[in-house]
Structure 1
Amino acid sequence: MLLCACAPTVNVNLPAPAGTPISTSPPSPSPESSPTPTGAPTTTPPPTAAPTTEQARPAGPQTLRLSYGQTARLRYFDVTALRQEFGKDQISIGWKVRVCYAAPHPEAGSDGRTRVSNNPWSVRVRDGEGGGQAKTVPISSLPRDAGWVPEFRETRLALGQCQEGWLPVKHENPDLQWNGLTYAPADFGDRITWS
């Protein structure tokens, strides 16, 4: 799993190759993570080249569970659910999201642009007072609250451009429990859930 370096990342422990001894002792701190004594000279490591798009992108659809603020690095997009906030009125909720067009895909328009919208986004919600099972509901089917600015709107992005804004809902029920935000674009097969 690859994640964008522009947001907090997820640590993934991959299995060691066969025959590799596995250490159970905690890792020793690296020089970069150890505190520098006051007055000691510091050095900055030399910059490294960023990986190319072909090296950094996964080959197929991704299914991930992330925390708010983490970025999913997908085949064609970098997608982040930045945060979830409740309105002061307690009957609205919003999710601030960012979608960046990061690698060209074959279904892009003849001008190289691609469409982004709120269609791939859904939420898992449950009535905390009435009980029952949680339901997954598309954001586009919920009542919109125009008080959240800027709103994430449908637009067309050129390669390298991002769209950022709020997915706002006026739910009018303070007993609802919101259990995650999911990005699942029908065209690409990815399913990313933040909670």
Structure 2
Amino acid sequence: MPRHPFSNVIGFDDAPFPHSHRGNVTIVGTIYAGLRFDGVLMGHIRRDGANAAKNIARLVAESKFANHARLIMLQGIALGGFNVVDIHYLYRWLQMPVLVVARRRPNMPAIKEALLTKVPGGLRKWKLIKKTGPMEPILNVFVQRAGLTTDQAEQVIEKFAIHGHIPEPLRTAHLIAGGITSGESRGRA
């Protein structure tokens, strides 16, 4: 059986934060070599800011895992509230594909309204979401992608979604992020 081209993956999710929180939000990246959990990256992004792609790229590029990573996964297109990740920028900077995974199809009209009426820089963020394209249904989740085909995205989901529909790198990042914030993990990834 040929080796999977995306065997080394880093999955990112943000830590939970209170609705009233302003400032930095912790993000956690989990590193997987195949189905083996190999490490953790941790950093910060600004709540509702515009630095998620740059901070993720820097975290990955400056880590000991950079030479082995082949794919970045994100739990949604926005982290830390509405800090929208420019996945095409991330793809170009790191020279590796990016796969966004969501459990449910987002309510795009509600997102647009929130961005345009309540979020600083909301128009730019909305344009970024539109540029990324619509979410595609694949194997019980919804995805957006940069640098990989729909078939490759399906292979990645199929390989890494072991305990439910969410791929292990994202499920683990979610659990760790929740644990470091509240002392224990909770909820579904």
TM-score range, shorter chain: under 0.3
Larger radius of gyration: 1
Q: Greater strand share, 1 or 2? A: 1
